[in-house]
Structure 1
Amino acid sequence: MAHIALYRTWRPQAFQEIVGQKHIVQTLQNSLREGRFTHAYLFNGPRGTGKTSAAKILAKAVNCLNGPAEEPCNECANCIRITEGAVMDVVEIDAASNRGVEEIRDIRDKVKYAPTEVRQKVYIIDEVHMLTTEAFNALLKTLEEPPAHVMFILATTEPHKLPATIISRCQRFDFRRVSLEEQVERLHLVCHEEQIEADDDAIRFIARLSDGGMRDALSLLDQIMAFSGKHVTYEDVISITGGMASDQFEQLIQAVKRRDVAAVLQLIDALMQEGKSADKCMENLLYYFRDLLIVKMVPGSQAATDRIIDVKQFAAVAESFTTQELISMMDTLNYYQTEMKYSVQPQTLLEVALMKLCSPTSGEAPAGPADASGGAAGRGPDGLVAQLTGRIQRLEEQLAQLQKQGAAPAAVGGAGSGPSGPTSRSAAIPAAMKKSVEKLDGFLQGKDSPDSKAVAQRWSQVLGRVKEQRITIHAWLVDGEPVSVCDDAVLVAFKSSMHRETTEKPANKQLIEQVMTDVLGKPSRLVTIMLKDWKAAADQAQPAESGKEELKLVPEDESPAVKEEWISEAIQLFGEDLVKIKED
């Protein structure tokens, strides 16, 4: 006969066989005894805790020939056929694969017909949260007022995904995770009935790995029995599950405490050679530090004794660390565990995490992404305070430096100190600006030269050629205007600093200089400046005039420079192809 999986062989067939759900069993049995069972139930809870099994037992209890009773007899024809899944009136539906509105409409159309084989028609809808919104809407009215011969039992692991209108029409039962002691007792019973010898340490470790799911524990026991044969040992469980034994943990933690990086790396390499996975080792390390922390802070806690086999040994290891050290180490491991999900080299991250624990600054949290000042953003409270303090100090130093560079305001009153005097003009410009003015001497002298005027006239051609080669660079360069030429350098003033910075990028600047060389017919370099800085430098370079300026009217025909300036601006705005020059 073919082997049947343990979790199927040991599926509960009566309420008294359900493990760890006493509160639910008692409620259902009382309602069956008093005949007060309702038309709709919602069973929700973690996987492997008995939701579907309880639904099938309830279906047998209401249809048992010797009932309805607190327990199905499992001997009558109805109970036997429901267990085998041969009764057409007890329908189990997988909502994950029958989630559409058409399947629910089919149920809605069929519920009005009376059952043909048993007294109560039962619909068990598993993973009900997978139904679509339209399917839920189709189920609403039927679920609220079904015929007297119909019962709905909905099962789900994610009740928060169900509409409130569905939940309010059901009696809700929350299944909990099965406690470690209840799992151990059940596993010992299974081993006894299957004639398997199992060490208590091995059974407890299996129960810990199942995370409160009885089905997971039975599946794991089945796998280990296939490996071990008739005797299950703790070493077998460690070997088959890829876990780490407590003595390996202790060696690793002691090496971390001694800050012995070489020993830590050797232990990690040995674990990898044994076939352990880096992410599993990281997860087990986090659990181990969690247990150390609980033993240290709450020695008699049930949360510690449920998971720890030798509490005294844990207490001895926990005494060698302070509480803050354990919390910081857990924070570091948690950070690298998160990063491990996106890494192609998880073993390297495991090694880095443990080397971080061995470092003298292991009490600090790991560094995150760089902040605006170029440093690493600390994750712990102490590191964050130190980082903010350092940033404040740097800002204060920069502010003091800027204040030293700025000039004192001009004195009010006195000869030569008025707003239009040379003293106030030079005092209003910072020292940094004075340095730039000195570098601009050649451009200031040549701003009205024939070369500058020639570049200004041909600038629209430069823009057009740049637009043909790279339209994105043209979008940045159009913000600037040529203001002067000095030797082979063309000075372009920009209104926006962002446009200027983008134009200064090496690739963009190289293309612009090549275009200027082609259009102007000689080698040309691009030099940039902000327009406001250029105007300030030009104003400072103008000599002070004591007298009033003489106003002179110039006829339009006698000002070709003005006319050329308007023509250049029109070409720059609309393009050379759209501008036509006509003589009057």
Structure 2
Amino acid sequence: MSYQALYRVWRPQRFDDMVGQQVVTRTLKNAIITHQISHAYLFAGPRGTGKTSAAKIFAKAVNCHYSQDGEPCNECDTCKAITNGQLNDVIEIDAASNNGVEEIRDIRDKAKYAPTQAEYKVYIIDEVHMLSTGAFNALLKTLEEPPANVIFILATTEPHKIPLTIISRVQRFDFRRISATDSFERMKSILDQKKVEYDEKALWVIANAAEGGMRDALSILDQVLSFSDNQVKLDDALLVTGSVTKQLLKKYFLEVCQNQSAPALETMKEILGEGKDGQRFIEDLISFIRDVLLYQEAPKLIKVESTGLKDEDFAELSKAASSTTLYRMIDDLNNIQMEMRFTTHPDVYLEVLTVKLSQPVLEQKSTNEAPQVQAGGAKQAEIDKLQAQVQALQQTVKELRKNGEVVNKTVRNSPQSVKEQPRVKSRKIQINLHKVYPVLAAATRQDLIKIKDLWEDMLNMLSVPQRSLLHVSQPVAASPDGIIVAFDYAFLFQQATDDAALIRAMEEGLQRLSGDERRVVFVPKDQWPRIRQEYIQSHGLGKGSQATHLANKEQSAPANAKSPVQEDEAAEEPPSQEPQSGVQKDLVATAQELFGSDIVKVENN
């Protein structure tokens, strides 16, 4: 007979032979003993954890006439036929290659017939998540109304891909990953029965490399036996699995913790020079740091003999770095591991990782303590230097804030503007008054109303980012050839001012809608009252001279059109406390003539 792999030769034939699935095996055995057998089961779990083996053992146990305590005898003809795959009533199907509707319909039609040799006809569908949607629908009816003496066992590694309508009609058993200890004991038992010499440290390396799969562990063990001429040695196990020796990991870890990047790089090159896999090196290092971290918190949680190190080694390693440093190292390792998946030059990533891990970091022991350099080798002089730099930066910030307050006081002098200070001050705000004043000189209420009517249509012509920027703005003045837009926040005003594309898009949109070319000027909303007031004062629009300006300016404007500058100025001017002079009377008469006597209100106190 040809050679068979270990995982086939030592496949469990009884529930008690299964490793690490005590809850599942006990439940299935009790169901057989009490004759509470369901018509459908779902075995879900990672690869190599015993799902298909448990399905075959269950098929033997329910059909064995000599079963004891829910275990098959493995001696009767039925048990032997099922073990050899020769019983017609136990059908094993690979859903990966038989995932169509026709295959499932064939199963559904044949399931109606009674079993020929055994008491139960058992269908074992492996990798059931590979079935198509139509196949699942065809299987659903059979699971909902199953024929008598028929049992379906569905096995999968990805239960989330199975429809909920299927899961709700089966009993689900979750197979967990097999621990390294259970894998170690199982391999040790097999090698003892085979009378093969082995090194226990090599078995621990294989158990950790299997990552919870018993079949993977036996496959690796098979490779090591073939490589080392029917022996299991530590060096051979490390070479086959691509793992790194614990002593090299310890050396690398200590060099990194002591900020010795050059020696750490040499150690890393030595590791890769031995043919070690980069991904495996990252995984081994994460596991190594995890053991050190657990030893710091609770030494009893670590089974020292399974790590390949001694208590003295862990005592030294736990003092080399704080828990915060270990957390940071694990995070960096996880990030590098993700980036290395698609690269053909892992050594570059590992070199960068080594230098990064070797860099000292600032850690804070408590909220009341000053930052201190926790990495080994830092001197008090370096700490004092850093603190001096921090103090200098803080003083600079204070001076900048003080200067900023002085500038803001000179710019914003009204109570309303003080309340509406911008929350973000990125830099000094600059307003181009040479563009604002010409618009104010020719601004009319009629133009402003026209722009406000076209505002929403103009916004719809802009891109989404541009519309979002103008969401907190509104037109405050307009003339036949210009428009002033005020922003609620100063930092958005500055961003819009620097955006030439936005200004060009607004001007083009307004030209299309109105037919007139208008320049767009931006101002901060909190500074708009000051700008308007300064314009009025600088152009002689205050008090007595206002009537003259109104008469001159409104000659070209409609009788009922009012400038926004004039309207705002009139609204902000308090009622006069003195009897009206001749000039004031002229002003009132002119205002009534321009705006109508029903709008102008004169009060004398």
TM-score normalised by structure 1 residue count: 0.67
Q: Whole-Å Cα distance in 2 between the matches of residues 362 and 494 of structure 1? A: 48
Residue in structure 2 matched with residue 233 of structure 1 by the alignment: 233
Task: Measure how far apart 1:220 and its partner are.
Answer: 0.8
Secondary structure, in 3 states, of the residue corresponding to 1:198?
coil
Residue in structure 2 matched with residue 323 of structure 1 by the alignment: 323
Say if 2:244 and 2:281, in contact at 8 Å, map to a contact too.
yes
Residue in structure 2 matched with residue 541 of structure 1 by the alignment: 538
Residue in structure 1 matched with residue 245 of structure 2 by the alignment: 245
Give a deviation string over 1:307-332, Cα, whole Å, max 9, x none.
45534422332233333433343344
Residue in structure 1 matched with residue 119 of structure 2 by the alignment: 119
Cα separation, partners in 2 of 1:3 and 1:502, compared to 1, 3 Å: farther
Q: Whole-Å Cα distance in 1 between the matches of residues 245 and 175 of structure 2? A: 31
For structure 2, the 5+ residue unaligned runs are 366-389, 443-461, 507-518, 559-605
Say if 2:497 and 2:522, in contact at 8 Å, map to a contact too.
no
Secondary structure, in 3 states, of the residue corresponding to 1:256?
helix
Secondary structure, in 3 states, of the residue corresponding to 1:147?
coil
Residue in structure 1 matched with residue 357 of structure 2 by the alignment: 357
TM-align CA RMSD? 5.2
Say if 1:305 and 1:311, in contact at 8 Å, map to a contact too.
no
Farther-moved stretch of structure 1 (56-65 vs 197-206): 56-65
Q: Whole-Å Cα distance in 2 between the matches of residues 21 and 552 of structure 1? A: 95
- Paired residue total: 491
Secondary structure, in 3 states, of the residue corresponding to 1:41?
strand
Task: Measure how far apart 1:338 and its partner are.
Answer: 4.2
Identity of matched residues, %: 40
Task: Measure how far apart 1:483 and its partner are.
Answer: 9.7
Task: Measure how far apart 1:112 and its partner are.
Answer: 1.4
Cα separation, partners in 2 of 1:307 and 1:406, compared to 1, 3 Å: same
Q: Aligned ranges for residues 162-561 of structure 1 at < 5 Å?
A: 162=162, 166-194=166-194, 196-301=196-301, 306-341=306-341, 346-361=346-361, 363=363, 398=401, 401-402=404-405, 404-407=407-410, 440=433, 530=523, 538-543=535-540, 544=542, 546-547=544-545, 549=547
Give a deviation string over 1:251-275, Cα, whole Å, max 9, x none.
1122123221110111112222223
Task: Measure how far apart 1:440 and its partner are.
Answer: 4.6
Q: Whole-Å Cα distance in 2 between the matches of residues 208 and 180 of structure 1? A: 6
Say if 1:483 and 1:493, in contact at 8 Å, map to a contact too.
yes
Say if 1:62 and 1:68, in contact at 8 Å, map to a contact too.
no
Q: Which amino acid aligns with 2:539?
A: Q
Task: Measure how far apart 1:436 and its partner are.
Answer: 6.1
Task: Measure how far apart 1:297 and its partner are.
Answer: 1.7
Cα separation, partners in 2 of 1:446 and 1:73, compared to 1, 3 Å: closer
Q: Whole-Å Cα distance in 2 between the matches of residues 318 and 219 of structure 1? A: 35
Residue in structure 1 matched with residue 41 of structure 2 by the alignment: 41
Give a deviation string over 1:486-541, Cα, whole Å, max 9, x none.
xxxx99966679799578568999999xxxxxxxxxxxxx9965497686764453
Say if 1:178 and 1:212, in contact at 8 Å, map to a contact too.
yes
Say if 2:292 and 2:318, in contact at 8 Å, map to a contact too.
yes
Secondary structure, in 3 states, of the residue corresponding to 1:123?
strand
Cα separation, partners in 2 of 1:354 and 1:74, compared to 1, 3 Å: same
Q: Which amino acid aligns with 1:251?
A: K
Cα separation, partners in 2 of 1:214 and 1:409, compared to 1, 3 Å: closer
Farther-moved stretch of structure 1 (324-333 vs 239-248): 324-333
Secondary structure, in 3 states, of the residue corresponding to 2:547?
coil
Q: Which amino acid aligns with 2:547?
A: E
Q: Which amino acid aligns with 2:356?
A: K
Q: Whole-Å Cα distance in 2 between the matches of residues 134 and 114 of structure 1? A: 26
Q: Whole-Å Cα distance in 1 between the matches of residues 135 and 304 of structure 2? A: 45
Q: Whole-Å Cα distance in 2 between the matches of residues 187 and 195 of structure 1? A: 12
For structure 1, the 5+ residue unaligned runs are 366-386, 411-422, 450-470, 485-489, 513-525, 563-584
Q: Which amino acid aligns with 1:37?
A: I
Say if 1:493 and 1:529, in contact at 8 Å, map to a contact too.
yes
Cα separation, partners in 2 of 1:196 and 1:492, compared to 1, 3 Å: farther
Task: Measure how far apart 1:33 and its partner are.
Answer: 4.2
Cα separation, partners in 2 of 1:553 and 1:529, compared to 1, 3 Å: closer
Q: Whole-Å Cα distance in 2 between the matches of residues 260 and 35 of structure 1? A: 67
